[in-house]
Amino acid sequence: MLVQRLQLLKQVRTMKTIKLLLPLLLLLPIISTASEKAVYVGGGRYACDSDSTDCAVLKQRNEERTRREQERYENERQYEREERREAEYLQDYERREY
């Protein structure tokens, strides 16, 4: 009789544990799907496969970031060209001794 009660208690505990864990187990596919929407690819950029609004926003941010980086690169090159021109002008000026 005591053994039967112990077995029954074990079963009850197991059932309670299952009841507590069941909602979490059911949510796991939803959580994993949500986390798979976007993947970090480095450089502050994300990639995603779906056509959701979240992906559209991520794509727009990626494009803006790329555009800003290109503008920064172009500005740096232009600044370097201007610096070289100024240095060449000064060298020419010093050679001619105006």
Across the chain, which has 98 residues, the per-10-residue mean pLDDT values are: 73 72 60 59 75 81 92 96 93 79
| 70: region left, alpha or beta (phi > 0 left; psi from -120 to 50 alpha) | alpha
Q: Are 38 and 46 in contact (CB under 8 A)?
A: yes
Q: What is the pTM of this model?
A: 0.48
Write out the E strands in 33-90. Answer: 39-42, 45-47
Q: What does the pLDDT read at residue 25?
A: 58
CB distance 39 to 58 below 8 Å: no
Measured distance CA(16)–CA(24) in Å, rounded: 14
Q: Any idea where the domains of the chain sit in the sequence? A: 1-36, 38-98
